[in-house]
Amino acid sequence: MADERFDDEAPTGRAVTDYDVTHAPLYIRLMDAAAEGLDWRIMAVRLFEIDPEQAPDRARRVVESHLARALWMRDEGYKGLLGAKPSH
């Protein structure tokens, strides 16, 4: 059963969504974990409570899509929070 706290894939559109706003703390934790060089499997367990041994494809997809969205929010999406349109 999928965890209801997050989707298996983060949003990919050019607009900041309610999902992005709700998950901003998670995005920050993901960027911190990536900056520390943590392996995606560790992120899956610690941040999403997904066992990468039991669901490796799902675990990787969840981590990678949310990290990509976190980086987009850092680089472009934040502009939407300030009233400007993101360029990417």
Distance CA 88, CA 68 (A): 13
Q: What tens digit of pLDDT does each residue of 14-28 get?
A: 999 999 999 999 999
Distance CA 30, CA 15 (A): 20
Q: Taking the model in full, what pTM does it have?
A: 0.87
Distance CA 78, CA 76 (A): 6
Q: What tens digit of pLDDT does each residue of 39-88 get?
A: 999 999 999 999 999 999 999 999 999 999 999 999 999 887 777 565 55
Q: How many CB atoms lie within 10 A of CB 72?
A: 21
pLDDT value for 85: 62
Side-chain half-sphere CA neighbours of 71 within 13 A: 8
Structural domain spans, the chain: 18-78
Question: What does the DSSP 8-state code read for residue 18?
Answer: H
